[in-house]
Amino acid sequence: MEKKLQILIVDDDKIDRKSLQRFLQSSNLEVETHEAGYINDAVKKIISFEYDCILLDNNLPDGTGIELLNALPSAEKNMTPLIFLTGSGDEMIAVQALKSGASDYIPKERLSSEALESSILKSIKISDLEKRSRAAEEILKERENEFRTILASVPDIIIKLDREQNISFVNEAVNFLGFDPDLISGKNIKDLVSDTTNDYQLEQLTTKRIGPRGTENLEISMNVYKNSMIYGSTKSIQVLIDAKGLWDVADEKVLDKDCKKKFLGTLLVAKNLTNQKRIENELRESQKKLEESVLSLEKLSNQDGLTGIPNRYCFDEFFSREVKRAKRDKSPISLIMIDIDFFKQYNDNYGHQAGDDCLIKVAKTLNASLKRPSDMAARYGGEEFVVVLPGSNEEGAIAFAENVRQMIESLEIEHRGSNIHKHVTISLGMCTACPGENNDPELIIKNADEALYKAKDEGRNRIANDNLLA
């Protein structure tokens, strides 16, 4: 049996509370409601119990809904999606509520079962994504501490420069020169090297080149600050520097003139020539661990943990970028939103492990259907997927969508809970846009989502579209 959503209704008006309960009962949601009529009572309940969603009226006997939001600890606001209700229809109150931590806003005069259900599902989905994002951030922090531990053990000075040649990171080995890593961050590389460094050497230090084309064994002088133990005997030391350009694409693609890429900065490794005989294997091993950890973190932040394809965060970044490109190039772009038909019933019949296996198979099939490197398939959330087809017109997108629909059906994944087919099927909603000033990513997604609901309303296992063509 599916777990009921725990909904807290914060409203002092008994009639309004009953009205909200009727709307919830007539929706497709399985809910169990809880009630609070005062701010203090609501705050205590929110802190002591983990609700799936909170419906909050703005006008309460002991204050406003905004005041309740401000009274909540940040942890509780981050944990539970909160939908703000008011009868005033004042958009300034809505903006203030959203700024204070509300997930959504519904004027009471627009309340309906459909509006509540849509807002609750959307808010819960966004809250779940935010929780995953925070969890990923915690992992990133842990990994960052691991990197710093690794880098602290490396005897050579490792410096990361940004595109303006400013120091964005330096490891603790720079203490040998008398510099504090935190205080030197943000300084230009010129502040670290000796005045005897010429323009050609600076150009080598800040190279954009990679691999063998980068800078190797560049001998320069680095300043010694008065806090260094060797300051009394010398004001600078000779170091041997290797420098490599950092890009947002793999090294093998940097030299490809047709590859869109962005220069991120330069990585410097400075070896103290006074200790040149130190074991270099330790540095190589540390660098290897660092690169592996960075790759692991990049994969974690952009890849769906279950299916292995790009996640919602990666899709949002990619789609926003591609819509801007389409506007600039005046070319079409197509978005297809995909939903597995009767997936809840599939989980009920076969269990969540089988459901996960089904999601993986669908994801692999979507990924395999892509014909061009510029196309993307991503998991949007739950049983929903998206496919982005830059440069694809309506005809091409329809042909692609129909091919995908047939491919999923041909997997012949048994589905006894489906009302339309003995195997797993999908419904597809698509939107092809020739982006204009008003056709932003959100509008294209909205049209594709509406088309998906249309496909489901018309019987599922089919394609519907809602285009934005000039």
Report residue 294 as tokens: 């960075």
Within 327-412, strands assigned E span: 333-340, 376-381, 384-390
As a whole number of angstroms, the distance between CA 312 and CA 381 comes to 7
All residues at 6 or more sequence positions from 68 whose CB lies less than 8 Å from its CB, including other chains: 10, 39, 42, 43, 56, 60
Report residue 271 as tokens: 């070896």
Q: Please, are residues 356 and 340 in contact by the beta-carbon 8 Å criterion?
A: no
Q: Please, are residues 289 and 184 in contact by the beta-carbon 8 Å criterion?
A: no
As a whole number of angstroms, the distance between CA 433 and CA 335 comes to 8
First to last CA, the chain: 48
**Annotated catalytic residue 298:** no
DSSP string for residues in 81-96: -EEEEESS--HHHHHH
Secondary structure letter of residue 391 according to DSSP:
T
The separation between CA 134 and the C-alpha centre of its own chain, rounded to angstroms, equals: 10
Residue 303, beta-bridge partner list: 310
Check the CA dihedral 350-352-354-355 and report its sign.
positive
**Nearest C-alpha neighbor of 455 from the set 464, 445, 468, 446:** 464
All residues at 6 or more sequence positions from 213 whose CB lies less than 8 Å from its CB, including other chains: none
All residues at 6 or more sequence positions from 66 whose CB lies less than 8 Å from its CB, including other chains: 58, 93, 96, 97, 100
As a whole number of angstroms, the distance between CA 245 and CA 254 comes to 10
Q: Under DSSP, is residue 178 helix (H, G, I), strand (E, B) or coil?
A: coil
As a whole number of angstroms, the distance between CA 231 and CA 211 comes to 35
Catalytic position from the list 76, 138, 298, 383: 383
Residues known to be catalytic: 383
